[in-house]
């Protein structure tokens, strides 16, 4: 009888250990989203971590007209000095802490930028799709994909008469 109770106690301990590990993994899980910003003075794309655990970005890839590109500079016909971006590769991963963001693309529009220039940039952005590949601290894969079609909402509509 004592042997049976010892075995049951040991099994209960292993099960409790398993439940604790599952709880720990879920309690530090990052919640990742891609935010798109289009205001009068700012065009931006951020990877934001709304969870309570860090998110380690292993790579960013952009899809444009069926082609997969690793850098936003390869996708845009804009001088890279006019906008801010952070390159992410498997060799240079980035960590996004809880409540913070990684800048994928950010361009501050100035008074010198004409509406047609800004619309051209919106059009270039709107054909892209971003895929973010990353892991949490337990090495669980967390991938996020977001189309940039949202940038078309501010495009000037042509009215036919």
Task: Please state the rounded mean pLDDT for residues 7-11.
Answer: 92
Res 126: pLDDT = 92
- As a CATH number, domain 29-154 is 2.60.40
**Every domain of the chain and the residues it spans:** 29-154
CA of 116: how far to CAs of 41, 89, 124, in Å?
Answer: 14, 33, 12
Please state the rounded mean pLDDT for residues 117-128. Answer: 89
pLDDT confidence bin for 151, thresholds 50/70/90: confident
Q: Is the pLDDT of residue 118 over 90?
A: no
pLDDT on residue 41: 81
Q: What is the pTM assigned to this prediction?
A: 0.80
Task: Please say if the pLDDT value at position 159 is more than 70.
Answer: no
Angstrom distance (rounded) from CA 89 to CA 58:
6
**Which pLDDT belongs to residue 27?**
83
Say if residue 157's pLDDT is above 60: no
Mean pLDDT of the region 58-78: 92
Phi-psi region of 86 (alpha: psi -120 to 50; beta: other; left: phi over 0): beta
| Chain-centroid distance, C-alpha 146 | 8
Is a pLDDT exceeding 90 seen at residue 81? Answer: no
């Amino acid at each position: 009888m004592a042997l049976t109770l010892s075995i049951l106690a040991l099994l209960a301990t292993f099960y409790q250990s398993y439940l604790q590990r599952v709880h720990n993994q879920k309690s530090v899980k990052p919640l990742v989203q891609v935010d798109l910003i289009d205001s009068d003075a700012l065009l931006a794309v951020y990877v934001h971590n709304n969870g309570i655990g860090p998110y380690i970005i292993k790579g960013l890839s952009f899809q444009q007209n069926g082609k997969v590109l690793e850098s936003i500079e390869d996708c845009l016909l804009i001088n890279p000095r006019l906008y801010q971006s952070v390159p992410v590769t498997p060799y240079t991963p980035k960590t996004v802490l809880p409540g913070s963001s990684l800048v994928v693309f950010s361009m501050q529009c100035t008074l010198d930028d004409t509406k047609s220039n800004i619309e051209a940039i919106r059009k270039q952005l709107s054909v892209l799709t971003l895929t973010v590949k990353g892991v949490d601290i337990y090495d669980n894969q967390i991938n996020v994909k977001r189309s940039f079609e949202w940038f078309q909402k501010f495009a000037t509509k042509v009215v036919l008469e």
